Structure 1
């Protein structure tokens, strides 16, 4: 599934240019991907679209107080004192490496809270137990893609760089 997601990211860099699910499925089939992988990826991408739209529709009203509910009845602004507590299911499915990476992105301010929640949602929907760190990085890329945002250059380097041969100093 992740090979298909990388292909979609590389070929439809601007999410708005990505064709509808049926047409995308045909294009992926023509590119030589396995039908089962295509189906998994399309279902995952539909979930990503729903999650991204959900956070955009219920984004907090920044003119209101942080503790007041938004007009749409959705999310509230996250306080700077907020702490994200991961459920046992999230800890088990994501594993320490992936959770550590999400925490790093969150603490560094590279991942907005609403985008973090979409990353976690899509990671929970991804195969693998635990989710591999390289797969999580693809998920993060796809979340930025779905919001139409380009990751910071340093983050993009971290997400795309092969760390296999990296030496620690």
Structure 2
């Protein structure tokens, strides 16, 4: 499923291709690309639920007055999916204002909805990009995250 999301993001969203594609046409294209029908439907459902999260009432447990100094406590299932490196990266993104409490929860929700046995930091970065791209008003955060993902390190690496 994650491979399909990456394919869609790179070929439609990130490339600024026509986003409004017929569902059947998109399914046919993904089938021709070698993806399985069940995985295609899971990926499209994942994207639909991401769009649903934009509704302000979709994260009822998130206080609008969340303190900037608050700490996110992860559930046991979240700890199993997000290793310390991933959780630290989420915290880093909050500290540099790429994620706010609402977008952080959207990212965690979408990570937990992925049907993948292994999840790594690079995968998390792509989920963050997908979430930020789909949330209106977060264009500068998206640009900043895009720089973090695609930036080539300067200087010598030891």
Instruction: Give me the TM-score of the superposition, normalised by structure 2.
Output: 0.75
Change (3 A) 1:162 1:115: same
CA contact (8 A) 2:86 2:121 kept: yes
Q: Equivalent residue for 2:48?
A: 46
How do residues 1-169 of structure 1 correspond to structure 2 at under 5 angstroms? 1-13=1-13, 17-19=19-21, 21-51=23-53, 53-54=54-55, 57-58=56-57, 75-129=63-117, 131-148=119-136, 149-150=138-139, 151-160=141-150
* 1:103-128 Cα shifts (integer Å, max 9, x gaps): 11111111122111000001111134
2: distance between equivalents of 1:167 and 1:40?
Answer: 42
* CA contact 1:9–1:142 (8 Å) conserved in 2: yes
Distance across 1 between alignment mates of 2:7 and 2:120: 18
Q: Aligned-residue CA RMSD in angstroms?
A: 3.2
Secondary structure at the aligned position of 1:12 is classed as helix
How many Å apart are 1:168 and its aligned residue? 5.4
**C-alpha contact 2:132 2:142 (8 A) present in aligned 1:** no
Say if 2:107 and 2:127, in contact at 8 Å, map to a contact too. yes
Find the residue that maps to 1:109 and give its secondary structure. coil
Listed one character per residue, the Cα deviations across residues 53-104 of structure 1 (whole Å, up to 9, x for unaligned) are 32xx349xxxxxxxxxxxx9x8523223322221222111211121111111
Q: 1:162 to 1:93 in 2, by over 3 A?
A: farther
| Unmatched tracts of structure 1, length 5 or more | 60-71
Consecutive unaligned residues of structure 2, counting only runs of 5 or more, are none
Separation of aligned partners in 2, 1:38 and 1:127 = 12
Q: How far 1:162 sits from its partner (Å)?
A: 8.2
